Amino acid sequence: MCADRPKHPTLKATFAERAKGASHPLSNYLLRLMELKQSNLCLSADVTSARELLHLADKVGPSIVVLKTHYDILAGWDYHPQTGTGAKLGSLARKHGFLIFEDRKFGDIGHTVQMQYTGGTARIIDWAHIVNVNMVPGKAAVQGLAEAAAKWRSRVNYEVKTSVSVGTPFPMSSTRRMEPRTTRATGISVQGRWLRQVPTNGTTTVEKEALPPYERGLLILAQMSSTGNFMNEEYTQACVEAAREHKDFVMGFVSQENLNSSPTDSFLHMTPGCQLPPEGEEENGAVMGDGLGQNYNTPAKLVGLCGTDIIIVGRGIIKAGDPQAEAKRYRDRAWTAYQKRTSQ
């Protein structure tokens, strides 16, 4: 865990600085959103019903920048493309400002993963901004998903914008005016294509922002937090090579540490297996596992020592007595660790 790698410049750069050089439009969007919301938290919404998922996303949305889903474990998922669960998640993403990450872990030959991504009842590509791949079948799986996303994108009437908006990317033809809203937890309000950062002194700075790019992105599953997994150094290096070959589609990695090593690497890293000790207890690195192979570490260790960008938290928030308050606690701890890492 957290190998002794050379320190990469992205570890000290702020999210805003990294956004300027991001090669993937969604990475640019996400990095700027993180800076605006002052959050590097992803909620792993591992609940058992679509109703629970939507309720949780609405309550915790102000504290997160990514919502991670497992649509195939949910009872009551509505597959209707316009009014179903995916569409409702998109509405909540626009309301609160987060991206949707379907943790599908595609792991088959290129042709098969293309069909799983774009077809079937779920049509994941239509509602999930980000998916991931288990690269055990080889680099062809990444190539297959990249080609599928390119074909899908070419069929959509869209206009690429490079600036940030709070909400889910959607075609210009389907744009509709949103009612003004304010999320107190983040100090961000949304009015159509306007995003406002509201300082605590009562004044308001307003920046006009366009719709985010209508794109899709991929994370490569390079490392896991479970005991005894088979993702060795050779496999992880192959993941890094595949990411470099598809920078127009691969945003980064699900990993346990920062894998940027080349001067041109600017990949994002999201890390599961994060848990805080009870309120008031000292953070001391490792936290007891779940008895089923999952190992836990604190935000301070994952962000500060291992160099991850976004912590992925599931049961630590979902099982809390007050998920909203607990999400804010995780967000605050992870953001503090990021500020210390970048010496802010």
User: In 3-state terms, what secondary structure has residue 208?
Assistant: strand
Task: Report CA 204 to chain centroid distance, whole Å.
Answer: 28
Q: Which tokens is 171 given?
A: 């075609």
The C-alpha angle with vertex 162 and arms to 152 and 37, in degrees rounded to 5, equals: 105
CA 170/CA 178 separation, integer angstroms: 13
Contact status, residue 141 vs residue 133, Cβ threshold 8 Å: yes
- Given a contact cutoff of 8 angstroms between Cβ atoms, the answer to whether 220 and 138 are in contact is no
Determine the residue type at 221. L
Which value, in Å, is the radius of gyration of the alpha carbons in the chain? 19
Q: What does the block give as tokens for 124? A: 């994941």
Amino acid at 321: G
Q: Does 59 participate in catalysis according to the annotation?
A: no
- Please report which helix (H) or strand (E) contains residue 339, including its range: helix 323-341
Q: Which member of 59, 105, 139, 247 is catalytic? A: 105
Contact between 259 and 266 under an 8 Å Cβ cutoff? The reply is: no
Contacts of residue 9, Cβ cutoff 8 Å, sequence gap at least 6 = 263
Q: Are 118 and 148 in contact (CB under 8 A)?
A: yes
- The whole-angstrom separation of Cα 71 and Cα 205 is 38
First CA to last CA distance, the chain = 26
Give me the amino acid identity at 272.
P
Instruction: Tell me how far apart the alpha carbons of residues 116 and 69 are, in angstroms, rounded to a whole number.
Output: 16
Strands of the sheet containing 194-197, edge to edge, are 181-183, 188-191, 194-197, 205-208
Q: Where are the alpha helices (DSSP H) in 188-290?
A: 233-245
Tokens at 221, concatenated: 């599953």
Q: What positions carry a catalytic annotation? A: 105
